[in-house]
Amino acid sequence: MSTLFWPEFGILFLAALIGAAAVVPYGLRLAQGKPLKFSIQVVFLLSLVQNAILFGIAIGLGLLAAHAIGLGAPYLESLLAGANIPGSAGPVIALVLGSVAGASLLIADLFFEPYWPQALREVALKTSVLENLLASLYGGVNEELLLRLFGFSALAWLLSLVTPLSTPILWVVNVVMTILFGAGHLPALKQMLGSIPRLMMIRTMFLNAPIGLLCGWLFWTYGIEAAIVAHFSTDIVYHVFGTFVLRRIGSRARA
């Protein structure tokens, strides 16, 4: 185990806890009007403890698997080692591609918008810009640590035990994790709607596929930092800027 493992783990774990705390206001907004079993303070504490356990395990195992196959967090590792930090190409490419992806997904979702169930429309309109901004932090940091650093690395490491890793193998891993990434959004949608119409299931999988594939490619090409930047910038454009777009559409529809 590298001497940088624990400092690297600590920083990523702290980032995951910040992301977990940031998403709580968004979750509470979605639960507004529904009875809570506990007070808001207890809900916040339980959420933090649950995420601490989940991401503690995911980050630890993810780092071990990633380092075993030559992946990881090169920018963070260079910073901790006092070495030359890799060039800015990775984060810049991630920022540009993530922003373009967010805009593309927002445009694509406008085609689904006339078929949205009323419950989904109400949720999209009642969450504030700040709540969507904070939730984007969770999406960018926590989901990438879970799906790419842990999931991608673990699956790629397992495959490396039976076959040499190659670009086609990494793409297979990327596709598998992208499917899981899209499917991971379905339980929340079901909780919101009660049941998921087929079109909304297609929408969820379709909209999450491009960013999942993009972040997987960025992870094995430039590191987890690039995947985080891309996912966060996508969410900023799609969820934060998209809030203004949806409100404009909603006000026009009411008129």
126-165 pLDDT tens trace: 888 899 999 999 999 999 999 999 999 999 999 999 999 9
Say yes or no to pLDDT of 243 above 90: no
**SS3 helix, strand, coil % of the chain, rounded to 5?**
85, 0, 15
pLDDT attached to residue 156: 98
Say yes or no to pLDDT of 180 above 60: yes
Which residues have a Cβ under 8 Å from the Cβ of 143 and sit 6 or more positions away?
A: 181, 184, 231
- Do 141 and 19 touch, CB atoms closer than 8 A? yes
The number of CA neighbours under 13 Å toward the Cβ of 208 is: 23
Please classify residue 37 by burial: count the beta carbons closer than 10 Å to its beta carbon, then call 0-12 exposed, 13-18 middle and 19+ buried. Answer: exposed
DSSP string for 160-187: HTTS---HHHHHHHHHHHHHHHHHTTHH
Say yes or no to pLDDT of 253 above 70: no
| Locus of tokens 């030359």 | 84
The number of CA neighbours under 13 Å toward the Cβ of 89 is: 5
Say yes or no to pLDDT of 85 above 60: yes
Average pLDDT of every residue of the chain: 92
CA distance 44 to 22: 10
Q: Which domain holds residue 95?
A: 5-254
Say yes or no to pLDDT of 254 above 50: no
pLDDT attached to residue 87: 86
Say yes or no to pLDDT of 22 above 80: yes
Domain count, the chain: 1
Percent of the chain residues past pLDDT 90, beyond the cut: 72
Percent of the chain residues past pLDDT 70, beyond the cut: 96
